[in-house]
Each structure stands twice: as C-alpha cells, then as structure tokens.
C-alpha cells in the first residue's frame, strides 16, 4: 500500500480542517477481528474538491459521506476516495478490522498464564487506518470521542477518562486535539493501582498475571511520576493539559514506550518479575520521565511532518536524563546515557545510513521511520546539550517555554524551535544549526602528549562544529588534570598536558559533554588494562570504555585488548550500567563477531573468571549495591560459563546468590546457556516450561531451543520462522536471536544465503517495524567471512523487502564489514 507523501499531506492540510472524530470499537467479536465505526466531521476550504481518508479494513461494510452511500470501489490501496466535498462534511464508516499480532494497530495477545486476552493500540507511525478511518497525518489534529464494547470482565483505559456506561460498554472523555498516531485504547482484565497528585488522577495497569510485580513497583513508579510532574510544571510553565495520566504495561511491545497523551503504553518487561539491577530500575525511571516530557514536546506541540520527528525524541531524551539527575537525584544517569545511548548513536553515525539530526528528507511516512534511530535520540540529545553550552541554560529554558506557549495544541517545525531559541539567546543560530543539526557524521577528537587537542572531521560530511568540552588525565588512581576547552577549529592547545606523568591516561571529552568519537593515544591504550579500574570518575571511565569499543569497531583497537581490559578492569567497576553493558558488548559482539572463532572459548573463560571475581566481591558489599553486583555477576556467568555442573545446580535453584533465589528469569538464562553447551535434556526443559507458564516463560523456551547447537535444533527453528504463521512479533524475534548462536559456524553456514528469502516470506504477515527488528536479529554476524558479505550484498539488492528492513540490513552489513576489517588487521 502506498505511504502518504509529504506533498500529499501538505495538499490535504491546505484543503481540510478536521473538526471532531468519534470512534466506536466493538472488541467483543472474538480473537481475530473487531468492529470499527467512525464518524469524522471536517471542513473543506474548497467546496467541490476531492480528497481521501486513510482506511485499511478486512471488510468495508458501509461508507457514507454527507448522507450518501459510497461504493466500496472507492477504497483503493488503503485510501477511501471522497469527491464533491461540501464546506462542512460528515463521513461515517463501518468496517471490520483485524487485530495485529506484530505490535502494530490494535494488538491482541493471549497470556498463557491464565489464557486471558489483552488489547492495546499502537498507532505510530501510520497504523491508525488499521483501527479506524482517519486523516492520518500529524498536522491535522482533532478532538476524539471514543466508545468501546468489550467482554464484561474487561476494563478500558484510553486517552480520555474512561467510565463504564453499562456492562461491557465504556465511554472515554472527549480529548483535547490529538494527532491520529497518539490515539490509543487498552482493554483487558487489567489489574490497576490508582492515585492522585496535584489534582491529576494517576493510574498504573498491567496483566492480571503481573499483579505481584505491579504492586511491588507501583509506589516507586507513582513517586517518580509525581516528582516529574512537579519538575516539568516548574520548568515549562505550562500545566499538564490532558486530564488523567495512565501508564499501561502491555505485552509484546516493539519499543520501550509510547507517549499517547493521557495513556502511555510501556513494555511490560519493565515490571521485573525477579531481581533488577540499579541501572535497570534507573532505565525504567528514565523511560517514565521520557514519556512524560513528550506530553509537552510531541503531544502538546507536535511536528508538522515526520522529518521533524527527531525534535520530539531528542528533546524527550535530553529532558529525561536531565530530570533523572536534577529531580530524581540520580547523577549516574549520564553514565548510563554514555555507555548505552551514545554508543548506539555513534554506531548509527558511522554507518552508511547516517543522516543529519534534522532536515533528513522524508518524502513519505515510511522514509521517516527509517531515521528513527540512535541519531534521532542520543545524538539529538547530545546536540541539545551543546546548544545549552552555546547559548546558556537560562536562554534554553526560556526558549522552550516560548516554543510550548506559542504552539500549544498545534504543530511546529525546526524553524519555529530555532526561532524561539534565537529570540531567547538574542542571536542567530543559523551557522550553529547548519553544523550541528543539518550535517551528518561525528567528529573525532584526539589528545596528543604535546597538549594538542585535535578534531578530525568525516570527509563525507564536512562541517565546522564547535565543541564545548573538558579534557582530563588520570595517574595512580588520581585525577591529575581537568581543563575546560572550547574547540572551534581543527585544534586547540590544552594547558598542563605536558606536565602529567608519562604513563597517565589522557581522556578527551572526559565529562562526555559533546558528541564526538574519542581516539585514545597509544600510551593510554597500553595503560588501560592496569589503569582503567583506578580512574576515580565514573563518567571518565565510561568514556574510556566507549572509546575502546568504538576503536575496535573502527579496526583501530585489537579485540584482544578489549578482552584483556575486561579481564583486568571490569570486575572492579562500580557503576552497574557500565558493568552490564560492557559485559553484554563483550559476550554478544566482541567474542562471537570480532574475535576469530578458535579464540572464542578461551575469551569466554576469561569473561567467566572475571564474573566470578565480581561475584566474590559482591559478597563484601552490603545492601542493595552488593545485591546489584551479585545479580550482574551471576548473569554474566550464566552467559559465559562452561561449568556445566555449576550451571545445572543453579538451574535446580541450588547454590544461587541470595537476590536470585526463586528468580524464574534467571533460571531461563541458565537453561539457555546449558542448551548452548548442548547440555540440557528435553525433560528438564519441559519441566521448566510447566513450572513457568507465563508469557516470558514461553518466549524464553523458544530461545532455549533455538540456541541448541545441533542440526536438528537449527532446522526446527528455521522451519518455525518459515512456516508458523501464528508466531507473534516477540516469538519470531526470540527465535531469530537464538538461531545464530553456535560455537561452530559450520552448523549455521548453510542458512546464510537463505535469510533474504525468509524475510521476504515473513513480510506479508509482519509489520515493517516488527520485521525490521527480526531482520536485525537474523543477520548472520557469527559467520564473519567474505561469503557472508556476498550473501549480504545479494540481500541488499532485493526489491521484495520493505524499506525499513533494507535499512536494518544495511546497518548490519556495516557491522559485518567492521568485523572483517578488524580480523584482516588483527586476526
């Protein structure tokens, strides 16, 4: 079906004003389809003109425009043609719609714990026509009145306050003007916790089988929500405008969360069934305040077209980390930002698919979705930090308030935002925005022992970006230098570098204040194994870890050095985000992709030994900090150990670290490792499935079977992906994530050239967002050889894969090329 183009959207916005939308949904028709009735009232500014609305039904039962019936033939490729419009129009549409099972549209999922069904709407980016007839573009906002019929034991949550008017019939309060992609309905036998803060009704909701973790986490979640409301009210000068504020933890969600006004949907894995490390809890807090920031930036003021989607996400990303630090009292949030979000963004900026933060061409909606990545989030947030350094925090905050007030309940673009910032700063931002927002690529900073801080600019994307940052040096566990620098040219002198000890670690961008890859000098690289652990500043340690991993991807750092530094420095790290993410990078990327296969087993033994050291150390640390260290250590052991006896003991629940006693999710990690070692019998797996009949347990069992290193297991996994049309988005993703795991590339090499055919087979039954994630997981990054590169080139040449899937394959192809370059240089 054609994707709406920007030109079509501009023309339709000039022609129409959408005045009101009424939607009636009948969710009591069984598990596959639902009824949808839409009454759309709109004004046409050129009576007699023609246009179309967006609609993708299973069956169009009736369409009436201004009292006259429309022929079904006017619905072509998801567009319902409307001719001879009046000045004031009423369109009535009755249709049968299909539930989604890919996380898009109105997604329906069955919880195996009790066989109850749950439904939630995820209409981003262009899925609204799968739920109701609409003018599906972000700049035609309208108030919505929604009514829902459900099984009588269900409850309903949505954008407006919900009330039950009769058994199984719910009516939601009419909303303020919303873009179509923000409309949602969440229906099912939810368990709920409610509260109120500053006159705002609050609600938390989850599946019935998650009642215990919901009740356990609810007091903290409500406290975070209340604190963030107070913070944003002070900062923005505009009260939350959307009535009730609900947060619904939903199953099989493709993203982290979605900022539907008044009814945020969040992946329900964030309600941890078992142990959670401090950085995992911080991640949830950060997600909560990120979506809350969108209530103002994105929901109250929305971009006109998808090419400004970055502005929504960059702002919410920056504001979430700022709020976590300033309001929630979590300064370690910026460490997590660097090791998680910025590494994601740097990878996107190195790839051939890189694009400017702003101004990327989005001729249609699907094109915009391809740029919904680490550049739009992490780089954009980092650029906003540089904007603050450029104009000052007071001017930035004043510009935000100006922008929100001027465009409330409407739409705005980049020019509007920069105009507000320029007025607040009292100067033009044209040159700054051209360098930082409209030019792709990341500069690379290096610091010489002579005290010269040098900036290299990507040749493909030249720009003159000024950097406000700091430089530090560390020796013998002490900070021996810290110098603020404004780098507004190719290089700048840094006072004091010549006086530091000869073996000091030199750290450009030590405070992680700017967006730039860091190149470490040879002395620093040589000193990292012995010196990294003693660096007292957690942000600087994160910068060093990130520089080490980025250097490996650029074929400048031997992956063996990464393993060496991990072996000697990781187990003494204190920050849980660094511990967890660095370990994941080593076990998921460094060892299986960058190291030669014959060195992988020895490297994993070193990883497991380091995890054992951390586990021992955790026993000497009291309280939640010690528990967090123990959980990280045990999880890394579960991913890397070859000690089958120990793993089998843990799988039975014996000898576990105290925080993991009774933790079903940890048990599945252990079973997955046993399966990867081909040391798990079918009886033990069946017993685990019987003991954990949850959605998480069902998914974990699929992954456990997929990682087993036997021809039969790989054939079964592939056949399931190829033939089982009932697989949900999460089930397909879990199988794909386990498939390529193997100690012997020969086991999976025959499938390398079959990936493209499989993706093409999946495309008709899986939405582009979900399929792109599956494509990323299905890319054969454990078979690093020229033949895989040839197979990848063939995939990229196909014309039967959606654009988002092609983009995902381009990015994975780039990682394969990085691994090949590394092996050619160091292998």
577 belongs to a structural domain: no
In a domain, 181, yes or no: yes
Q: Which residues contact 137 (CB under 8 A, 6 or more apart)?
A: 4, 9, 12, 13, 179, 180, 305
Q: Answer with the one of 189, 218, 243 that is the final residue of a domain.
A: 189
Cβ(689)–Cβ(699) under 8 Å? Answer: no
How many domains would you assign to the chain?
4
Question: Does 430 share its domain with 544?
Answer: no
Tell me the two tokens of residue 187. Answer: 């229906």
User: Beta strand 51-54 with 105-111: parallel, antiparallel or unpaired?
Assistant: unpaired
Residues 407 and 501 in one domain: no
Range of the domain at 462: 443-514+520-557
Domain harbouring 172, CATH code: 2.60.40.1730
Helix (H, G, I), strand (E, B) or coil at 265: strand
Gap between the Cα atoms of 219 and 330, Å rounded? 18
Instruction: For residue 748, give both structure tokens.
Output: 């999976």
| C-beta separation of 576 from 618 below 8 A | no
Query: What contacts 383, CB < 8 A, 6 or more positions away?
Result: 314, 357, 436, 437, 515
Q: Which of 189, 204, 232 is the last residue before a domain boundary?
A: 189
pLDDT of residue 1: 64
Q: What is the pLDDT of residue 544?
A: 98
- Flag whether 368 is in a domain: yes
Residue 413 pLDDT: 93
C-beta of residue 298 within 8 angstroms of C-beta of residue 316: yes
User: Mind telling me the catalytic residues?
Assistant: 291
142 CB burial (10 A radius; 0-12, 13-18, 19+): buried
Task: Answer with the one of 420, 436, 452 that is the final residue of a domain.
Answer: 436
Domain assignment present for 674 = no
Parts of the chain with a pLDDT under 70: 1
Q: How far apart are CA 2 and CA 324, in angstroms?
A: 41
Q: Are residues 538 and 430 part of one domain?
A: no
Same-domain check for residues 17 and 159: yes
- Residue 125: asked if its preceding bond is cis (omega within 30°), the reply is yes
Q: Are residues 77 and 147 in the same domain?
A: yes
- The two structure tokens encoding residue 81: 């043609």
Partners of residue 197 on adjacent β-strands: 200
Q: Which uninterrupted H or E stretch holds 699?
A: helix 695-707
Write the pLDDT tens digit of every residue in 178-220.
Answer: 999 999 999 999 999 999 999 999 999 999 999 999 999 999 9
Say if pTM beats, i.e. exceeds, 0.85: yes
Looking at the structure, tell me whether residues 407 and 488 fall in a common domain: no
Q: State the Cα–Cα distance between residues 659 and 651, nearest whole angstrom.
A: 15
346 and 428 inside one domain = yes
Predicted confidence at residue 72, as pLDDT, reads 87
Which H or E run contains 719?
Answer: helix 711-723
The answer to the question of residue 174 being in a domain is yes
How do beta strands 516-519 and 191-197 pair? unpaired
- Does a structural domain hold residue 575? no
Quick: pLDDT tens for 12-43. Answer: 999 999 999 999 999 999 999 999 999 999 99
CB 563 within 8 A of CB 582: no
Q: Say whether both 415 and 508 belong to one domain.
A: no
From the number of C-beta atoms within 10 Å of its C-beta (0-12, 13-18, 19+), residue 278 rates as buried
Q: Do 101 and 184 lie in a common domain?
A: yes
DSSP 173-237: PPPSSB-GGG--EEEES-EEEEEEETTEEEEEEE-GGGHHHHHHHHHHHHHHHHHHHHHHHHHHS
pLDDT of residue 368: 78
Q: State whether 177 and 30 are in the same domain.
A: yes
The count of other CB atoms within 10 Å of the CB of residue 598 is 7
Q: Is residue 567 included in any domain, yes or no?
A: no
> Which tokens hold the place of 563?
């393993």
Q: According to the model, what pLDDT value does residue 200 have?
A: 98
Distances (CA, A) of 781 to 238, 478, 588, 742: 48, 40, 10, 11
One domain, residues 11 and 142: yes
Residue 286 lies in a domain: no
| Whether residue 15 sits in one domain with residue 148 | yes
């Amino acid at each position: 079906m054609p994707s709406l183009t920007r030109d079509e959207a501009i023309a339709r916005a000039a022609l129409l004003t959408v005045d009101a939308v009424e939607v009636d949904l009948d969710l009591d028709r069984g598990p596959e389809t639902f009824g949808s009735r839409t009454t759309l009232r709109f004004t046409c500014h050129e009576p007699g003109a023609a246009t179309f609305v967006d609609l993708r039904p299973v069956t169009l039962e009736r369409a009436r425009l201004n009292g006259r019936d429309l022929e079904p033939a006017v619905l072509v490729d998801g567009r319902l043609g409307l001719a001879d419009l009046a000045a004031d129009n009423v369109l009535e549409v009755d249709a049968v719609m299909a539930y989604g099972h890919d996380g898009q549209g109105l997604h329906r999922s069955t919880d195996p714990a009790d066989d109850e069904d749950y439904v939630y709407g995820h209409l981003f980016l262009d899925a609204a026509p799968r739920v109701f007839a609409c003018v599906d573009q972000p700049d035609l906002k309208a108030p919505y009145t929604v009514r829902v019929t459900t099984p009588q034991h269900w409850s309903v949550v949505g954008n407006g306050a919900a009330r039950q008017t009769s058994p199984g019939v719910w009516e939601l309060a009419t909303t303020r003007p919303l873009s179509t992609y923000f409309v949602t309905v969440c229906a099912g036998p939810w368990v709920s916790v409610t509260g109120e803060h500053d006159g705002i009704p609050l609600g938390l909701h989850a599946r019935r089988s998650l009642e215990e973790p919901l009740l356990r986490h609810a007091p903290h979640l409500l406290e975070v929500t209340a604190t963030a409301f107070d913070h944003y009210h002070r900062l923005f000068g505009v009260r939350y405008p959307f009535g009730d504020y609900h947060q619904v933890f939903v199953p099989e969600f493709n993203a982290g969360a979605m900022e539907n006004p008044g009814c945020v949907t969040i992946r329900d894995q964030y309600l941890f069934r078992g142990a959670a490390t401090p950085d995992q809890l911080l991640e949830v807090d950060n997600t909560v305040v990120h979506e809350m920031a969108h209530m103002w930036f994105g929901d109250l003021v929305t971009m006109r077209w998808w090419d400004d989607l970055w502005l929504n996400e960059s702002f919410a990303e920056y504001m979430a980390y700022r709020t976590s630090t300033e309001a929630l009292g979590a300064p370690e949030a910026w460490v997590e930002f660097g090791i998680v979000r910025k590494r994601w963004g740097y990878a996107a900026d190195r790839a051939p698919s890189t694009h400017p933060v702003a101004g990327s061409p989005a001729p249609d909606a699907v094109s915009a979705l391809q740029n919904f990545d680490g550049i739009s989030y992490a780089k954009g947030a980092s650029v906003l930090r540089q904007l603050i350094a450029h104009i000052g925090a007071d001017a930035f905050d004043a510009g935000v308030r100006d922008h929100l007030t001027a465009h409330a309940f409407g739409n705005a673009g980049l020019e509007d935002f920069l105009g507000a910032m320029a007025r607040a700063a009292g100067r033009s931002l044209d040159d700054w925005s051209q360098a930082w927002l409209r030019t792709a690529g990341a500069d690379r900073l290096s610091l010489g022992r002579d005290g010269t801080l040098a900036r290299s600019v990507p040749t493909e994307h030249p720009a003159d970006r000024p950097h406000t940052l700091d430089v530090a040096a560390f020796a013998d566990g002490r900070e021996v230098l810290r110098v603020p620098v404004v780098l507004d040219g190719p290089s700048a002198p840094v006072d004091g570098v010549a006086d530091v000890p000869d073996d000091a670690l030199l750290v450009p961008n030590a405070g992680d204040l700017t967006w730039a890859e860091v190149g470490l000098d040879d002395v620093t690289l040589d000193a990292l194994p012995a010196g990294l652990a003693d660096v007292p500043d957690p942000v600087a340690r994160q910068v060093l870890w990130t520089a080490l991993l980025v250097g490996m991807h650029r074929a400048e750092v031997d992956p063996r050095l990464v393993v060496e530094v991990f072996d000697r420095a990781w187990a003494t790290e204190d920050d849980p985000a660094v511990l967890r993410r660095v370990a994941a990078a080593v076990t998921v990327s460094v060892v299986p992709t960058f190291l030669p296969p014959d060195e992988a087993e020895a490297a994993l033994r070193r990883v497991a030994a380091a995890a054992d050291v951390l586990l021992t150390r955790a026993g000497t640390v009291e309280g939640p900090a010690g528990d967090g260290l123990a959980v990280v250590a045990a999880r890394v052991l579960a991913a890397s150990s070859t000690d089958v006896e120990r793993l089998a003991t843990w799988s039975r629940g014996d000898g576990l670290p105290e925080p993991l006693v009774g933790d079903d999710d940890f048990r599945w990690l252990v079973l997955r490792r046993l399966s990867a070692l081909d040391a798990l019998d079918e009886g033990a797996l069946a017993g685990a499935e019987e003991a954990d009949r949850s959605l998480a347990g069902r998914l974990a069992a699929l992954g456990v079977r997929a990682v087993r290193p036997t021809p039969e297991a790989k054939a079964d996994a592939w056949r399931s992906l190829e033939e089982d049309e009932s697989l949900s988005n999460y089930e397909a993703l879990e199988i794909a994530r386990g498939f390529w795991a193997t100690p012997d590339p020969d086991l999976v090499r025959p499938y390398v050239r079959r990936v493209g055919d499989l993706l093409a087979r999946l495309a008709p039954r899986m939405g582009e967002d979900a399929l792109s994630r599956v494509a990323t997981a299905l890319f054969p990054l454990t078979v690093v050889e020229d033949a895989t590169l040839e197979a990848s080139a063939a995939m990229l040449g196909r014309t039967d894969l959606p654009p988002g899937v092609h983009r995902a394959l381009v990015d994975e192809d780039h990682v394969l090329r990085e691994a090949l370059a590394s092996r050619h240089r160091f292998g």
